[in-house]
Amino acid sequence: MFIGIDLGGTHIAAGMADDSGKLLKKIYVDNSTKRDYREIIKDMADLCRRLSEETGIGMEKIKAVGIGSPGTPDNKRGIIIYEPKFNFRNIPMREEFQKHLNVPVFIENDANCAALAESVAGAARGAESSVTITLGTGVGGGIVIDGKIFSGFNFAGSELGHHIIVVNGEQCSCGRKGCWEAYCSAAALVKKAREAAEKEETVMLEMAGGDLSKIDGKIVFEAAEKGDQTAKHIIENYIEYLANGIANIINILMPEVIVIGGGISRQGQKLLDLLQEKVDNYVYKTTAEVPKTKLKIAEMGNDAGIIGAAMLGR
């Protein structure tokens, strides 16, 4: 058995999982107040004890605890190098945790944990390599090769959303111009739609009850399906940049599966249908005999972080 902990800004979630990534139970504790890292870590250890009690699975049966944290962890040294929201700087997370519970502890970035969950138990299970991209407020991602997260020599990867697809292109929140995220986050899509709805006649405004700020990603996709020209144009553009970025990842890494998660992925098969032909055209051609990377929709939902963290110790 493994325990996975997902450290979030509003709560800490912990779950007990078996070695296939099946989640047996999950519990939460509030984490919305600013406090010392030692208190946060004590709460994590308490969650582990509670999980053990409530499942009846003794702590001696827990092979490892995995912690998924925002920021840049260094699993070799067992520390979080940097996390601005919690104000973590080189905090000794493993050592502090083991003051409470004497178990092997693994630490990873939370987006990478989600990618590992998809690889072990989700859309990419069985694949020897996969890249999971998350289309949400930003564009995030994680690379899994042979069942292990690859986050680079400095554990700072993978910043897939900040690879440039248009040199000197659209302004990105990171300060640079032309990042994939500036074109393909859900936020970027919604921004384009709101800008257009201010200037053009479109059903999107009506669907949002006349309130520009209520136009969201779902409305843009639905309006495009209804034949609204403004929405169709925005979606076409969005898919064009998304397909270019996905093809870039394929041309660089040739993963067996690319998993698409985040809010935009709720479009499901419709999204894949829009993407597939473009991506096929954009991947560097050798011959039909070379197998193609598969595009899939993420399956793990909100539990991805916990399950991926649990699977770190596998």
Chain positions contacting a second copy, by CB under 8 A: 71-72, 81-82, 89-90, 127-129, 143, 145, 150-160, 162-167, 169, 174-176, 240-241, 244, 247-249, 251-256, 282, 284-287, 289-293
Closest CB to a second copy among 31 and 151?
151
Please choose, from the candidates 88, 52, 34, 67, the residue with its C-alpha nearest in 3D space to the C-alpha of residue 305.
67
Place of tokens 């004590």: 42
Closest CB to a second copy among 71 and 262?
71
Q: Do 21 and 7 meet the contact criterion of CB atoms below 8 Å apart?
A: no
**Is residue 242 classed as helix, strand or coil in its secondary structure?**
helix
Least Å from the CB of residue 69 to a second copy? 13
Place of tokens 């969005």: 238
Closest CB to a second copy among 91 and 215?
91
Closest CB to a second copy among 244 and 276?
244
Least Å from the CB of residue 140 to a second copy? 11
Closest CB to a second copy among 33 and 154?
154
Report the C-alpha gap between 176 and 178 in whole angstroms. 7
DSSP class of 212: G
Least Å from the CB of residue 280 to a second copy? 13
Q: Which residues contact residue 39 at a Cβ distance below 8 angstroms, ignoring those fewer than 6 apart? A: none
DSSP class of 178: S
Least Å from the CB of residue 277 to a second copy? 15
Least Å from the CB of residue 74 to a second copy? 9
Least Å from the CB of residue 109 to a second copy? 11
Residue 107 main-chain phi, psi, to 5 deg: -125, 135
Report the C-alpha gap between 112 and 96 in whole angstroms. 22
H or E stretch covering 81: strand 79-83
Closest CB to a second copy among 142 and 262?
142
**Is residue 83 classed as helix, strand or coil in its secondary structure?**
strand
